[in-house]
Amino acid sequence: MPRGYIVALFCATGVVSMPASGAEPIKIGFPIPLSGPTAVYGEPVLKGAELAVSEINAKGGVLGRKLELLSRDSKANADEAVRLARELIIKDNVDFLAGTLTSAEAPAVSTVAKENKIVFIAPTSKSTILTDPAHIHPYIFRVSSNTDVEGLAGATLVARWKDVKTVATIAPDYAYGRDSIAAFKASLKKLRPDIQIVDEQWPKLGEPDFTAFITAQMGKKPDAVYCSLFAGDFVTFTKEATPRGYFKAIANRMVDGAEVGTTDEAQALGGDYPYGIISDSYDPVIFTGNEPPEHKKFIEDLKAFTKAKYASGWSIVGYQAIYALADGINRAGNTKSDDVAKALPGMTFDTPVGKRTFSAKSHETFAPEYWGVMVKEAAYPFAVMQNPELLPPSTETN
């Protein structure tokens, strides 16, 4: 149903206020998981967005108007995210949408954005279905990586283990997990056609007991594992896998592309972290060298804003989403979604880890992540990423 029809209908019942004047804030609806196992990622994404809003407003806002972020707990549930997105548009009269975490939520909210002709910027969803040719529309944009980029990076790392001949995979059984494994396998086949995939496990998102999956996978005796479990699922999996000798059996040769290399995940696991695995993060937070000065300032500002001793590795994507949207509004010269949607494709914007550009064709940014071995260092009470490497350097497999 077109947004105009919905708004007109609700105006007739007195639910929606009159359109905002120039003095009123620019409202951004932000559904994001703030409870349950994925809140470990959702909460810091929101904090990053809030920091961006705070900084932008301190500088006078956008087009002379303040930004207002309206966050809601999506519970990592697609139906709830859709309900909240509709409510934010109809009841709260938001100008734009950002947020969501999972690849179940984002495509569902993208449909709402398309129906209501409102720009939606997704900060984290990686599934290719969000912006593939069958689903892309003028109002959807993504600042995160996608599963094709993630899968290539993961395959590149697995391919470096010259003695590995068999690999198993484990991923959540929904869009992100399926896409991530498919992308990994496709890239690995090009890079190391001699490696055989001997097992694939598909626990549901939010699986409370991984015992059967762990036992079945260990029975296949793979040389290494590619994993896409994340947030609370990876915590549960690790605590059940370690005492069964899972990581020891593969000599800790696991690559996990689901951001379990963040300080958030490392702190959640503490001493239970499976040291020696390789993982990724949009922001390793702790750089051992070659830290961009813009990043150093961002981390100090983030720690001050959140009153946290250690910054989050997830906040950067929420931060980027808001700054990208603000740049798009400035470029359009107004808050009309149709004009902002035309301003964003091809637009380059600054981030704490370098410039990003929205593809005019896919509405995505090429967003490689930092990867490295997770190690124990005396200076920190949690696993940290050793010598973070930005991967992949391009979308090519050669």
Which has the closest alpha carbon to 230: 337, 59, 345, 369? 369
How many Å apart are CA 20 and CA 24, to the nearest integer? Answer: 6
**What's residue 189's pLDDT?**
98
**What's residue 291's pLDDT?**
85
**What's residue 398's pLDDT?**
60
Cβ neighbours of 27 (radius 10 Å): 21
> How much of the chain, in percent, has pLDDT values that exceed 70?
94
**What's residue 62's pLDDT?**
98
**What's residue 173's pLDDT?**
97
**Residues in the chain where the model's pLDDT stays below 50:** 1-21
* HSE-up of residue 270 (Cα within 13 Å, Cβ side): 1
Our measurement of the distance from residue 104's CA atom to the centroid of its chain's CA atoms, rounded to an integer in Å, reads 12
**What's residue 11's pLDDT?**
39
| Residues 74-107 pLDDT 10s | 999 999 999 999 999 999 999 999 999 999 999 9
**What's residue 395's pLDDT?**
86
**What's residue 331's pLDDT?**
98
**What's residue 221's pLDDT?**
98
Q: How far apart are the first and last CA of the chain?
A: 46
| Residue-range domains of the chain with CATH | 3-145+297-367 (3.40.50.2300), 148-281+370-391 (3.40.50.2300)
